[in-house]
Structure 1
Amino acid sequence: MTSTDSSTSQGFRAEERAAVEEHARELRTEALRTSRADEAAQEARDVLADIAGMSDPDRYGMPAHALDGSVVCYFHSAETFTARYAILGFDDRARLDDEPMGATSSGPTEVTAEVEERIAALVARAVG
């Protein structure tokens, strides 16, 4: 017996077609996740290689921290920018408004344990 029902005219019922389409979407999503993960891993390897080539004072790199997708604080290496000082800077979205004139950037001359602790506290306040 030949069926002329439109739901089976292409070989699959509507539910079967929906299941196949859903599976295809899942496969595409997984492929995107995998390629993004591979890209992120390669980027991390590249960054680590760049950091390994820096001198000790600038080995901290140029990290930046974001809040709601916008950079709030950043670090510019003195060596990279051929400058006298490294610069730790904060954008106006940083939450450092507890003083009438808060510093929006500073130029650490060396990164000691005390300076590192102070930077960590400022970054935590800025993005927290």
Structure 2
Amino acid sequence: MGKTEDGAYEGFSAEERAAMKDHAQEMRKASRRASKEEKAAEAERDVLAKIAEMPEADRAMAERVHAVVTAAAPALGAKLWYGMPAYALDGKVVCFFQSAEKFKARYATLGFSDLARLDDGAMWPAAFALTEVTAEVEARIAELVKRAVG
């Protein structure tokens, strides 16, 4: 959240406000869909369209992440979540891809919600920085996603 140099709260950043606006639009669009199958197909198209809009570096990674997640965990359904490609189980987000461009970060992120079954002791990673999706990274993503859905 935006703060001034002296720590005073300024409200949400422009990127945060845009993400909230995306989420509200996603919710309105989802509520207008008819059948479960139609909802899933439309959500998949929305995710692919969002990926297609990304800058080349983010798009290439998002395409690979999408392919790996959908192959590794077919039970997860693609959907947009705050303007980001996400993958949900029974409508609840388990993991998501956040492009570097989304929040003007220096790297993209593969994140997991608290629903992901990645628990490992008292502390474990819930987000991973991505600068490139190699074969090794794909294998790690597949392993994490499979574990996340149990």
Please, what TM-score do these two structures have when normalized by structure 1?
0.58
1 CA distance for matches of 2:112 and 2:122? 16
Identity value in percent: 62
What is the total number of aligned residue pairs between the two structures? 95
Q: How does 1:101-120 map to 2 (within 5 A)?
A: 101-120=123-142
RMSD over aligned Cα, in angstroms? 2.8
**1:123 equivalenced with 2:145 (yes/no):** yes
2 CA distance for matches of 1:127 and 1:66? 10
**1:74 equivalenced with 2:78 (yes/no):** no
Q: Which fold has the larger relative contact order, with Cα–Cα distance below 8 Å and residues 6 or more apart in sequence?
A: 2
Structure 1 residues 104 and 47: CA distance shift in structure 2, 3 A: closer
Q: Is the 8 A contact 1:66 1:127 kept in 2?
A: no
Instruction: Decide which structure has greater strand share.
Output: 2
Unpaired segments of 5 or more residues in structure 2? Answer: 1-33, 64-83
1:63-95: per-residue Cα shift (whole Å, max 9, x none)? 322233211211101123221121111111110
Structure 1 residues 99 and 112: CA distance shift in structure 2, 3 A: farther
2 CA distance for matches of 1:49 and 1:74? 15
Unpaired segments of 5 or more residues in structure 1? Answer: 1-31
| Counterpart in the other structure of 1:100 | 122
Structure 1 residues 40 and 122: CA distance shift in structure 2, 3 A: closer
Out of 68-77 and 41-50, give the one that drifted further: 41-50
1 CA distance for matches of 2:114 and 2:44? 28
2 CA distance for matches of 1:51 and 1:115? 19
- The structure whose Rg is larger is 1
